[in-house]
Structure formats: structure tokens, C-alpha cells
A and B are shown apart, each in its own frame.
Chain A
């Protein structure tokens, strides 16, 4: 493996990405174009997040990679393995141990600290894409803070369905300036971007854009005063493994008639809760 540079890229490439990152941090929610190299994993499989990771990872970092909440998902394993091969850094499944977390479509349940960086992989960075296909025109709309299109599409949903019908990727307003795609995280995670202590970086490899939320940035989900923003309903659902409530749960279907069961979507969080629970059951003192 020593045929490759530390963190895969040549230094010029890393510098270019870091410059884009600095600009992104300076203008929260603004999409900064970057050259975006082809990676050994497919475009659309997290190359934006991976490029951001490789541009910032240092030898002392501890990394965690999750895909749809899971550390064990094949794509998370593949990305983590690649980063590990190219850098030799330590890896972990525990959010609190990681200095950099790369994630596809989830914000970890354990609250992030100011010492941590969260990198989110982004498929479609342009929140206006649905109403405006052209990059050029969308850029102009952002510059003029002309967001009627997004508001109208939410309004249309209310007219049609009685409420907004967004799934994941509900648009947000960053620092009262830029409308930003939070990446397809569930709506449950949208509020967790607001005022977050950690630096959050977004990388879209195929679309060649980087954007960022510096720590403690104001992030509001777009909603109307009389039709407030609604998260996914987790009411009355409990994780069958660790008993957690009020967290984002995966629904699994069983044979017909048996009804669904639920487990924590964040597998690292769930495992941690299970092991501390079994320690308590055995009557041991908790570590702290």
C-alpha cells in the first residue's frame, strides 16, 4: 500500500479541497464548487464525504464511518477500510471516541462535542433542484435570496395533502441566509443540526460541491407559522434491543400479522446502551 500517498491524494489535491472547506466554513450553507477527484469508490457512494475526510484527516485522528446509521453496513465498512488503508488511523464504532465521523444520512444519537467533526455525504446538494434544474439559475436565486420556489412547493404540498409531505432532506434555512439541503437525513435529525457544538461538513462528490455548518450555527427547517415542521413520529415505539425511546428507530417487518418491531437506527449508540445495561444488570458500577 505504500505505493499511495498518505490519505490517497497528492498534496495539491488536498490543498484545493481544504481551500473550498475554509470558504464553506466562512459562508455557512453556501455551496462552494470544488474540482472533485475520481475516487476508488463509485460516485454516488460517498465520494464527496470521503474527499473531505481525506483532506482533513491527520495521523492522530480516530474515525467512525456509518451508513444509514450502521457501522456494519457494507458501504460503511468499505469506506472505513479504505481510509484506514490509506492513513493507518484508528477506527471506532463509538461516537464519543471518534474525532471525525463520516456519515451517510444520519446524525449520530450521542450529542457531538466541539472537539468533533461530522462529515455528511450528499447526493444532491442543491435544495432548489426540484424547482429549478439549471445550476446557473439556481445560483442566481441563492445570490438574490429568492426562495419563493421552495416555499411554494411546501405550500403546494399543504394544499394537496393538508401538511408538508417531505421525507428525508427537508430544506433548512442556515443563519437566516442560505436555504440548504441537510442531505437526506430524516427530519428527526434536522433539529439536531441547529446550534450543534461540532463542525459539520457536507461533501457532494458527483455534484462537486462542499458546504459547511460551523459550530453553533442557527439551522431552521422551513415551515409556516400555522403549519409547524413535523419530525417522523416515534411515539410509543421502543427499541427491542436496548429499550431506547424517543430516538430514531428502524422499523422491521415480520411475517404478515406479526406487526413490525423496532430497533435503534444508530447501531453504535444501541450497542453502547446494551453493554452498559448488562453491566448494570450484573451490579457493576458504571465507569464514570
Chain B
């Protein structure tokens, strides 16, 4: 028996893919993966965060292939991630050990350890810089040399290594922020086991951190604007920095970090947001308690991390009938691959399902039973 060869759509698809390639190349210039990695840092960070895969080189490649479309680049990385076995889980990473590059607190004018502005567009005026049109490598080299001289002149010969105190610890010592029980429950891995509702906090945090930036920001915004908590959270601390990732020695758990295997470091954005809420004190007296919302994501994604902290708070403290406090509403709609996938599937042919609907409409309109 001969197997029937399938033809038809195949040729059209091949031509469409060819056309896509042509659109990327038609200007006769292509962008190097290296250039994307160094020059499109914010996009690389965003894509790594949404793909939940910390790999700058691969993210840059995905961005190149996707012609800069973050939705498509995230999709490529996630699909690649599916082919990789999960071999290890990292050891706990203490955020206190972060190599801090930026740390600001909106809660206090001054904080122990100081406000470190780091690199941020927050303090720029958003005026198009037309000089960048003519940026040459000679310009760049000269600017860098001057920058380095300036740094060396100001740098102390030995940088003291200090652990910055956490702003939330200050509030805790005053009893304003509740001291929480250490929770060492092993997190559920949402990439290995699908999330079920009610979700555990670990599942919520994983889903939020890989959420699509725009979606997370939009829902976080809705929450503080009035569709939900309607309180103004205060950023106790926003930190951008690098943390080391270690795993247990494969032949057995380690007792200390010194015995663990060091894999490398990841840059993250971390946010502690504090939100005042009413609580019943002793004897039924109304008191104000300060509660915490937590945001953490790969790369420097500050709006996303702040919005995540708001949503983490919202989901920890549900309010009936508020969509942003409803974990099913938030967690099932913020994933880039899922949302864009289902929206884009509307482009697929639906003539069978449509005809079935048409049949029902005609039958009813003819008055048949």
C-alpha cells in the first residue's frame, strides 16, 4: 500500500517563510547577536524574564530571529526551554547577599547604607537624543576612557563589603510589620506540574514573575487605581543587583554554601512594597497593620517588579468581586505565550465550527424545532 503524499498548503507555507526571511533582510543589513546583547539590554532582560530562562546569548538570538518582537522572542525561548531536562533545583539564595547595583527606598528619605541610584532612565528627560544617530565607535571609546578615569579617581583602593540592611527589617524591629514564620515548604514547580486552584504562593510568584510585562503592569495599575485594594502602596525598597546561584553537590546535600557548586549569577529586580490595612487588635479595637507585597524578576524590569509586588499582595488578601484579587483571573491571563497564542489562533480557519453555528441560527430562524 502506498502512503498518500500530502500536498497543497506545503508550498504556500514555504513561500510565506521565505517572504518572512526576506522582510528581515531586505534592507541588506542584519544586526549581530552581540550587538543585541549589548545594545538592547532592556529587551534582553524583558524577554529572559517572560521566558523564565536566564540566558542572555539565547535571548539575543531569539530577539534577532523575532525581529525584535518580544512576544515572538519569548515564545521562541519558551519552546526551546521545553527541550531541556530539569536536572537540578538551586539552593536557596539569600537576597541579603545581593551585589547591589541600585537600591532606592520611597518610604524613607534616608536609609542605612544610602540610596544608590545606579543606572536608571528615571532621572532623564525623555527627549530624543539626536546625537545617537551619529554615534561612532571613536565617540564611544573616548567617552568610555574618560568615564573610566573618573571612576578610578574616585574609587577607594579597597571597596568595603557591607551587607545593606533591609528596609523592611527596620519596620519589623518596630513591630509595624508582622514578623512572619519562616516558610520552608518546597516550592511547586509550575513547569513540571500544572497549577491547580487554590494556588500555593510559590505557584503564584512563579506565574507572576514570568508574566507578560505589559499585562502585569496593567493589572497592577488597575489594582492601585481603584479596582481592588485602592490603597497606595509604598515601595520600601527597590533593588537591582546580582545574586549567586548555587546547587547542591550532585552526590548529596551540602551543609554550607562553601560546599555547594557555584553556577553563576543572575541580575534581578527585587521589590518590597508595603501596604497599610485595617486589622482587629486586642479587644476588637481597630488597628492599622502594615503588610508586604513582594516582587522579583529576572533582569532590570522595575515597573514589572513593582506591579508584581502589588499583585502578590492582592492575591494574598482576596477581596470578593475584585478581578485583580481573584487569583484565577490574574494568573490565567498574564502569560505571554498563552494569551498571544489563543488570540492568534483566531487566524486559523474555523469553517467547521462556524458552519455548525450557522446551522443552528438557520434552524432557529426558520422556526424548526
User: A residues engaging B (CB < 8 A)?
Assistant: 4-5, 8-13, 16, 33-40, 42-45, 47, 62, 67-69, 71-78, 80-81, 90-94, 97, 104-106, 123, 133-136, 139, 161-169, 184-187, 206, 208, 227, 230, 232-233, 248, 250-251, 265, 268, 271
B82 touches A72 (CB 8 A): no
Do B341 and A43 touch across chains, with their CB atoms under 8 A apart?
yes
> Taking each of A11, A97, A232, which has the highest tally of chain B beta carbons within 10 Å of its own beta carbon?
A232
Contact call A12/B6, Cβ cutoff below 8 A: no
Q: A167 to B75, alpha carbons, bound, how many Å?
A: 32
Tell whether, in the assembled complex, residue B86 and residue A92 are in contact, meaning their CB atoms are under 8 Å apart: no
Tell me which of A12, A163, A208 contacts B363 (CB under 8 A): A163
- The CA-CA distance from A61 to B352 in the complex, in Å, is 28
Q: Is the CB of B367 within 8 A of A162?
A: yes
Which B residues are CB-close (under 8 A) to A250? 351-352, 355
With A97-B1, A206-B341 known as contacts, the answer to whether A187 contacts B356 (CB < 8 A) is yes
Q: Which of A45, A68, A72 interacts with B345 by CB under 8 Å?
A: A45
Q: Which of the four size classes fits the interface of chain B?
A: 35 or more
Q: Contacts of A13 on B, CB cut-off 8 Å? A: 82, 85
Tell me the complex Cα distance, A93–B12, Å: 18
Nearest Cβ on chain B to A265's Cβ, whole angstroms: 6
Q: Could you tell me the dominant secondary structure of chain A's interface residues? A: loop
Residues of A within 8 A of B83 (CB): 4-5, 8-10
Residue among A8, A74, A162, A165 with the highest chain B CB neighbour number at 10 A:
A74
Q: How far is the CB of B296 from chain A (nearest CB, A)?
A: 21
| A residues near B1, Cβ cutoff 8 Å | 97
Residues of B whose CB lies within 8 Å of any CB of A are 1, 3-10, 12-13, 75, 78-79, 81-86, 190-198, 328, 332, 337-338, 340-345, 348-361, 363-364, 367-369
Question: Knowing A12-B85, A91-B6 touch, does A40 contact B341 (C-beta < 8 A)?
Answer: no
C-alpha gap A90/B4 in the complex (Å): 10
- A5 vs B80: C-alpha distance in the bound complex, in angstroms? 12
| B3 x A33 contact (CB < 8 A) | no
Interface contact A39-B342, CB-CB below 8 Å = no
CB distance from B164 to the nearest CB of A (A): 37
* Residue from A40, A42, A208 with most neighbouring chain B CB atoms (10 Å): A42
Shortest A190–chain B CB gap in Å is 10
Closest to A187 in B: B356
CB <8 Å contact, B194 and A227: no
B3-A62 in contact (CB<8A):
yes
**Is A167 within 8 A of B357, CB to CB?**
yes
A16 touches B192 (CB 8 A): yes
Contact between A166 and B369, CB atoms less than 8 A apart: no
Chain A proximity of B61: nearest CB distance (Å):
14
Given contacts A42-B344, A44-B344, contact A72 B7 (CB under 8 A): yes
Is A77 in contact with B197, judged by CB distance below 8 angstroms?
no
Could you tell me if A42 and B75 are in contact, using CB atoms closer than 8 angstroms? Answer: yes
- The answer to whether A168 and B352 touch (CB under 8 A), given A37-B82, A45-B341, A161-B364, is yes
Contact of B75 among A38, A72, A271 (CB under 8 A): A38
Return chain A residues, CB-CB under 8 Å to B78.
38
Cβ–Cβ contact A77 & B348, under 8 A: no
> Is the Cβ of B352 less than 8 Å from the Cβ of A35?
no
Q: Which of A43, A133, A168 neighbours the largest number of chain B CB atoms within 10 Å of its CB?
A: A43
> Is B192 in contact with A105, judged by CB distance below 8 angstroms?
no
CB distance from A118 to the nearest CB of B (A): 16
A33-B196, A75-B348 are known contacts. Are A43 and B342 too (CB-CB below 8 A)? Answer: yes
Q: Could you tell me the distance between the alpha carbons of A120 and B362 in the complex, rounded to whole angstroms?
A: 27
CB-nearest residue of chain A relative to B77? A38
Q: How far is the CB of B359 from chain A (nearest CB, A)?
A: 4
A230-B363 CB under 8 A given contacts A76-B9, A184-B353? yes
Q: Which residues of B are found within 8 Å of A206, using beta-carbon distances?
A: 338, 341-342
From known contacts A16-B192, A38-B82, A90-B3, infer whether A106 and B342 are also in contact, taking CB-CB under 8 Å.
no
Chain B residue nearest in CB terms to A10: B85
A97 touches B4 (CB 8 A): yes
CA distance A81 to B8 in the complex (A): 13
